[in-house]
Structure 1
Amino acid sequence: MKSIKESFVTYYTRLYAEPHRIDVPSVNVFLSSLDLPSIGTEQNKRLTQTITVEEINKAISKLKGNKMAGEDGYPAEWYKHFRDLVTPLLRDCFNHVFTGGEIPPSWKRAVISVIPKAGKNRTECGSYRPVSVLNIDYRIFATILAKRLEFITSELTDTDQTGFVRNRQTHDNVRRALHLINKMKNIESVAVSLDAEKAFDSVCWNYLYLALERFGFNSQIIRCLQSLYNSPTARIKINGDLTDTLQLERGCRQGCPLSPTLFALFIEPLAQAIRESKDIRGVLINDITYKVGLYADDILITLTNPEISLPNLFSLLKTFGMYSGYKLNLQKTQILLYNYRPSQDVQKIAKFNWSNTSIKYLGIHIPIDLSDLYECNYVPLTSEIKADLQRWSLLPMNMHNRIDIIKMNLLPKLLYLFQALPIQVPSKQFNEWNRMISNFIWAKQKPRIKFQTLQLQRDKGGFALPCLEDYYRAAQLRVMIGWCDPMCEAKWKEIDQSYCEIPLQSLLGDQPLIKRHIYADLLPALMKVPIEIWHKILKYEKTEKSARTLRWPAYDSDFAPANKDKRFIQWLHKGITGYWKITDKNVLKDYQRLQRSFYLERQDFFRYLQLRHHYDRNIKFLEEEDTGLVKIFLDSCKGNAPKKQISRLYKCLQTSRNNDTTYIKTRWEKDAEIIIHDDNWFNMCKAVVMTSSSGLWREFAWKNTVRFFVTPNAKSKQSKDPDKAQCWRNCGSVSTGHFHIFWECAKIVPYWLVVITEINTMMGLNLAPDFTVFYLCDLPQGLRNSDKYLLLILLAGAKKAITRKWLNVDPPSSLDWIGIIKEIYTMERLTFSLRLAADKFEKYWKKWDLYSNGKIL
């Protein structure tokens, strides 16, 4: 153990040691030579405003619970619980530091937790990621600064940088890279995937301060950052033990909320130097040159004329490394060759991994032939998923645990590929994944609930199992939201538009235009996939007419005058794009309003009459018909693109499938000889979702609602033996399904009567024995939330007492029920305590406490 600690101390002492003093004048000359943006007085003023209580409260609210506390031992829960007391103290402390005061000594100290990297040799210190565990008060302060910098960073960094910058995504750069590589296949070029060696840990602070100064940050901000990075120390935690204290001389601490933003600003001068260098030549598309794409420290550079570009690139990287501490990882940097064989001189300069087959960028394997994208990415991931599911299936888990594993482990991996790769995934692949998932959920037993039912949302009677095909379609459609959203400024959107002679968003509502662009090969394959999916969805949902509201008058294939009169094209320059621009509450604006808003001329009046006639006849009432998928795109065109776009699209796609649980409702109606209205049924489904704080109990409540259990009737059908349909309680019934076992059996009725009497007494209610209320949870109107919570638990406990006596001749007793409620009570009390909500627990369980203590209200 001692030798391990010594090895880590030696390694990190060297890593965080400043290798050399930088030449400040040379760095300033380098930074001054670049055309970098700079913030002004007003922006600096906003950055340096007094820190407010509201900012502190927001930062505290965002703290995640159940996380390791810093060296002082105060966890996030402590700050949340004592928020009102501690916030004024934090405000005074933060503003003291912010205005140049000395920082608390505890802010300089951190505990480094080393996390092993996947697939690395764990006997090497470099195979671990050092995450700094900092005190919570420091993290609150850093979060406030990071939030303020968030809005500035997007203005200071080019859209080439998509890492940790507001409104930019990882897959933006992957899509852009695929476009560029598609162009490079016919020219002499290379794609260079740069990997920095310990990029965050190697940041030179003096260079960073000079770069911030070049970006226009005033002295107060820079001085504040300098105080945070002045002589910090750390101790490494290894197997629970802490090493001696290390002195840090460089690096952005991984785990600090400020680090991602500071690194984006740190690396931007390098990206700008590459852009400006005439000797480093990029890929030209539609008169625009594309050279560099970044996601934090992951950089992909696409170059033409590599014999000249590569030596100049590596010369620049060497110079930048001298100034900043940036150093390439020779083993992980890759170069993909297109129609190029490097000379010996170039190979001597660039001693990296040269490849004629593929490179890996941001987790995506990019082959030299893009038609192999599916084989290179989905096939190995499918094998990985299969192995994972087989390994996890050995663990003792219930259904909700297994479905949570699908959501938290399998879905994110697939969703990343769905978003990054605009390629077709065949139906047979989704079928294969669904079979693997079904086998995992049911432990290779016969499913008791339909797979499509499991995929419904919980409030609809399902279990929210992800539908992979709908997530795939939603991920592809998200690209088209980017086309519509005027706020989206990604480079891939710029390239997409260069392939289309008309605005991309004008295609969406016009099926003839879509067909023309797809079948005439006017667009590259990368752009066809989302359009084809959109076209199929509109056809399946029969919303092709409703989608006409997305059309643009100038390109509307059904508006004959626009095809002949080029004056409508000129209207585009005046601002008349989509129909939504010239309508108000589904009515075309009058000519005078349009004339004032868009500077129309007298000669345009007849054209307006033509347009109004077409709109009133073909489009006017369609906007009212659709509030789902088409509305999302319409809102995006208006600049109101939804947040969590994939989730919104996914919900719309799920709704269009018309899957529901009314077939289960019908079975209950038949068994109990009752009528359940649809609204009541879905209220019952929503109710069981709220049963206790435990996923286990919510699962049990759901199982009762969806007829999960294997009754004698089910066994009889499986074995084709009529005798097995008899009730095991020997009540004399020869046909026993869910309704009989849980409610109607002569031996179970007395149990329910006692339970219902006790519930009425405890809750102060006067409810008659009703199957829909006490079994299906159709709760009476007017109940307070606390009473709903307790009643649902009481009913779940009553049903659990029955299943614990499954196949037992004797029915459960009220004592069995009370014992189960006491079990739930104990666990709920612990849960509420961990959530710092003990007062809420006392309120919700007050009636039970009075009942169990013999005191009835």
Structure 2
Amino acid sequence: MYKDVCNNFLKDVKLSHLSNDDAIKLDQPITLQECETAARDMRKGRSPGPDGIPPEFYLTFWPQIGPLLLEMILYSVREGSFSRDVNSALISLLLKKGKDPADCASYRPLSLLNADLKIYAKLLARRLQGHMTELVHSDQTGFIKSRLATDNVRRLLHIIHDAQDLNSPAAVLSLDAMKAFDRLEWPFLWAVLKVMGVGLPFINMIKVLYKNPTAVVLTGKISSSPFAVLRGSRQGCPLSPLLFALSLEPLAQAIRGSPTISPISIRGTYHHVSLYADDILLYINNPVQCIPHILSTFDLYGKLSGFKINWQKSALLPLNQAMCNTPIPASIPVTNNFTYLGIDIYSSIQTIIKNNFSKTLNKVVADLDRWSNLPNSLRGRVAIIKMNILPRINFVSSMLPLPPPPKYWGKLHSAISKFLWHGKRPRIKLTTMQRERQAGGLSLPNFKFYEWAFTLRPLLSWFHPDAQVSWRTLEERMIAPYSFTNILYAKISPHQCRLKFGPMISYLLLVWRRVEKLAGCFSIWDPHFPIFNNERLLIGGCHIRFPDWEKKNICTLGDIYGEAGLLTFQNICIKHGIPRTSFFFYLQLRSTLKSNGAPLQAPLTSHPIRKLFYSVGSTRGFVSRLYWLLLRYAYRPLALDTVWRRDVPDLSPAFDWDKVSFF
């Protein structure tokens, strides 16, 4: 009975499916190289499992241990299970802050697995990770490569802003899942993997991890007797987050495909659900009609998968005036705010900005004031700011790509300066201390430049059409008739930007202009400079449009320039296969390029900021790279450096000032 209901449910939701070639790749036999790569990819310095052996031990003696580990793994795959000792977990209990130590619910379990088991799980996760974007919709951003939690918040902020103008009732439902990872039923997981086209050999490899697992609970120094684990994705296992995301995809797809659950429609785009692992938001239009169907959908899914929602701890946030007179079922609390991914969410963008930035700033200022009397050196205080203050400020800056409240930066810099100098008059400028050590500074973080880098990070998705982010289509509609490539050249006032594009896109454009000004590259003619609909390149005062060239994808100056400058019309015809009837347009374009100061007899110059966006392959490490680029553009000659170069004319331009630092 369960099997039939499960198969019917999964058949109706129409899940994504792996190709045969991809399924065959997953089924390949495990190799020694895979094991070593997985071991090296694991995080180091972590607590070992019950056997007390960390991954570092395996790596140190890999030539001797590696082949034996591979032999053990291959034997276990053939037999269908690991030995009892390998597949055992040690669960340590950590008391939650401010909770009653006599209450069992006050403890957070931390599961420790053996390193050999984690190496095996890691290599399976590495295989599966490359296919997650094919199997899981962009609505889910948790633990999937190239997807960020900030994507969910960015989408939510757009919806909150635009929902104010909707005529129908609109609301966001934040769901509280009850121990979601621990409740997953394994038969449902195997059924989902099968429907998604994962081959039986790879499913059996995963089943090895879930064949007769046991656990021991450590309370103080007392260990319980081993007990069997019968459900749930295992905590501490590198494969668990991916399996959980796959198991949750049928629920998300059921919501997206339901004709009775109305999504919020913004500018021709439809928004049903956002997920970050088990943190779920539902975007609901006409909640009165939708909520009964939502409850029934979750009830059916829960019976099959074990997933359960605590409706009393969930929260419904009204987004517009049309919700004021809408009756809501008593089973779901209505609230004026909730916390999502660490950010306090309200129905007003300005309230979100004020409360989140102010809350973080007030805590930081209070902590710095409390620590001001600690006997630390200047370097020690800089280290405290980098390790404790920077992550907290950067978290808000990354999650909320919006302008901070007035005086936010001034108050933060004042508190930092007071902390660094014990409340006395500063002896060194903050800008000097923010330089790299090699450049005569102390690498004190420049919080504003980090915030600029986080604000501009979405341009990675703007410039790469295949980017899988849930808000890209919405922003493409918001900026029409501009495109992602030419809006950066639009001559629109900040006020008009806010009216047309909303607070986030307008702030991104404002920061882009500030960055261009800082880098001195506003007037650079670079290969990515758009030809069409570009307000910096006009013919007769009008935007340039020429369908014959656009159809051939001749859209940027890089398409018509070579190493010697602007290509001749004949060379463009040969390169792109355009008709010779476009010769007059070519003459017009060449004339307007010349009148605007573009080089005709010289190659184009790379735009240093745009070049960075096009050169990176992922979001990993991008913010740091952009931050250091901005910081170096902001450098001004040091007074001490000027004196030294006057007295020592042969001093190298790359002189390392950190060698003469005494702080």
TM-score (norm 2): 0.91
Equivalent residues of 1:508, 1:547 under 8 A apart: no
- 2:655 pairs with one of 659, 667, 681: 681
Distance in 2 between residues matched to 1:44 and 1:562, nearest whole Å? 57
Correspondence for 1:843: none
Query: Is residue 611 of structure 2 the alignment partner of residue 631 of structure 1?
Result: yes
Distance in 1 between residues matched to 2:407 and 2:229, nearest whole Å? 54
What letter corresponds to residue 63 of structure 1 in structure 2?
A: M
Deviation at 1:75, TM superposition (A): 1.7
Distance in 2 between residues matched to 1:114 and 1:573, nearest whole Å? 63
Deviation at 1:574, TM superposition (A): 2.7
- 1:652 pairs with one of 622, 629, 636: 629
Correspondence for 1:324: 305
Deviation at 1:582, TM superposition (A): 3.8
SS at match of 1:504: coil
Correspondence for 1:605: 583
Equivalent residues of 1:233, 1:245 under 8 A apart: yes
Correspondence for 1:546: 524
SS at match of 2:501: coil
1:548 to 1:116, Cα distance in 2 relative to 1, 3 A: farther
Correspondence for 1:451: 430
What letter corresponds to residue 308 of structure 1 in structure 2?
A: Q
Which 5+ residue runs of structure 1 have no aligned equivalent? 1-21, 689-704, 709-857
Correspondence for 1:28: 7
What letter corresponds to residue 103 of structure 1 in structure 2?
A: F
Equivalent residues of 1:173, 1:293 under 8 A apart: yes
Distance in 2 between residues matched to 1:222 and 1:606, nearest whole Å? 63
Equivalent residues of 2:435, 2:444 under 8 A apart: yes
Correspondence for 1:706: 661
Equivalent residues of 1:510, 1:547 under 8 A apart: no
- 1:388 pairs with one of 342, 364, 367: 367
Distance in 2 between residues matched to 1:570 and 1:161, nearest whole Å? 40
Query: Is residue 277 of structure 2 the alignment partner of residue 296 of structure 1?
Result: yes
Equivalent residues of 1:549, 1:580 under 8 A apart: yes
Deviation at 1:587, TM superposition (A): 3.6
What is the 5 A alignment of 1:364-383? Answer: 364-383=343-362
Distance in 1 between residues matched to 2:254 and 2:117, nearest whole Å? 34
Correspondence for 2:329: 347
1:34 to 1:545, Cα distance in 2 relative to 1, 3 A: same
What letter corresponds to residue 32 of structure 2 in structure 1?
A: V
Equivalent residues of 2:172, 2:282 under 8 A apart: yes
Deviation at 1:295, TM superposition (A): 0.6
Equivalent residues of 2:146, 2:619 under 8 A apart: no
1:342 to 1:299, Cα distance in 2 relative to 1, 3 A: farther
Distance in 2 between residues matched to 1:465 and 1:565, nearest whole Å? 45
Query: Is residue 263 of structure 2 the alignment partner of residue 285 of structure 1?
Result: no
Deviation at 1:608, TM superposition (A): 2.8
Correspondence for 1:533: 511
- 1:488 pairs with one of 467, 472, 490: 467
What is the 5 A alignment of 1:423-442? Answer: 423-426=402-405, 428-442=407-421
1:261 to 1:254, Cα distance in 2 relative to 1, 3 A: same
Which 5+ residue runs of structure 2 have no aligned equivalent? none
Correspondence for 1:663: 639
- 1:213 pairs with one of 194, 203, 217: 194
Deviations 1:45-100 (A, max 9, x none): 11122323332222222333332111111122212211222222222233333455
1:591 to 1:442, Cα distance in 2 relative to 1, 3 A: same
Aligned-residue RMSD, C-alpha: 2.8
Correspondence for 1:306: 287
Q: Which moved more, 1:305-314 or 1:113-122?
A: 113-122
- 2:28 pairs with one of 28, 43, 49: 49
Equivalent residues of 1:110, 1:133 under 8 A apart: yes
1:362 to 1:653, Cα distance in 2 relative to 1, 3 A: same
- 1:421 pairs with one of 397, 400, 410: 400
What letter corresponds to residue 270 of structure 1 in structure 2?
A: L
Deviation at 1:493, TM superposition (A): 1.7
What is the 5 A alignment of 1:62-77? Answer: 62-77=41-56
SS at match of 1:193: strand
Equivalent residues of 2:460, 2:619 under 8 A apart: no
Equivalent residues of 1:69, 1:134 under 8 A apart: yes
Larger Rg: 1
SS at match of 1:141: helix
Query: Is residue 218 of structure 2 the alignment partner of residue 237 of structure 1?
Result: yes
Distance in 2 between residues matched to 1:588 and 1:99, nearest whole Å? 64
Deviations 1:818-848 (A, max 9, x none): xxxxxxxxxxxxxxxxxxxxxxxxxxxxxxx
Deviations 1:25-47 (A, max 9, x none): 11111001112111122111111
1:559 to 1:446, Cα distance in 2 relative to 1, 3 A: closer
What letter corresponds to residue 175 of structure 1 in structure 2?
A: R
Correspondence for 1:61: 40
What letter corresponds to residue 625 of structure 2 in structure 1?
A: R
Deviation at 1:322, TM superposition (A): 0.8
Correspondence for 2:82: 103
- 2:185 pairs with one of 204, 228, 252: 204
1:315 to 1:400, Cα distance in 2 relative to 1, 3 A: farther
- 1:144 pairs with one of 114, 123, 126: 123
1:110 to 1:456, Cα distance in 2 relative to 1, 3 A: same
What letter corresponds to residue 287 of structure 1 in structure 2?
A: G
1:459 to 1:488, Cα distance in 2 relative to 1, 3 A: farther
Deviations 1:153-195 (A, max 9, x none): 1110111111111111000010001111222223311100112
Equivalent residues of 2:90, 2:113 under 8 A apart: yes
Distance in 1 between residues matched to 2:101 and 2:556, nearest whole Å? 58
Correspondence for 1:812: none
1:450 to 1:132, Cα distance in 2 relative to 1, 3 A: same
What is the 5 A alignment of 1:79-90? Answer: 79-90=58-69
Correspondence for 1:568: 546
Correspondence for 1:15: none
1:676 to 1:238, Cα distance in 2 relative to 1, 3 A: farther
Deviation at 1:128, TM superposition (A): 3.5
Query: Is residue 457 of structure 2 the alignment partner of residue 478 of structure 1?
Result: yes
Distance in 2 between residues matched to 1:503 and 1:577, nearest whole Å? 14
SS at match of 1:679: coil
Distance in 1 between residues matched to 2:122 and 2:355, nearest whole Å? 39
Deviation at 1:276, TM superposition (A): 0.3
Distance in 2 between residues matched to 1:578 and 1:606, nearest whole Å? 18
1:42 to 1:517, Cα distance in 2 relative to 1, 3 A: farther
What letter corresponds to residue 706 of structure 1 in structure 2?
A: S
Q: How many residues align?
A: 657
1:520 to 1:478, Cα distance in 2 relative to 1, 3 A: closer
Equivalent residues of 1:333, 1:353 under 8 A apart: yes
Deviation at 1:594, TM superposition (A): 4.2
1:373 to 1:681, Cα distance in 2 relative to 1, 3 A: same
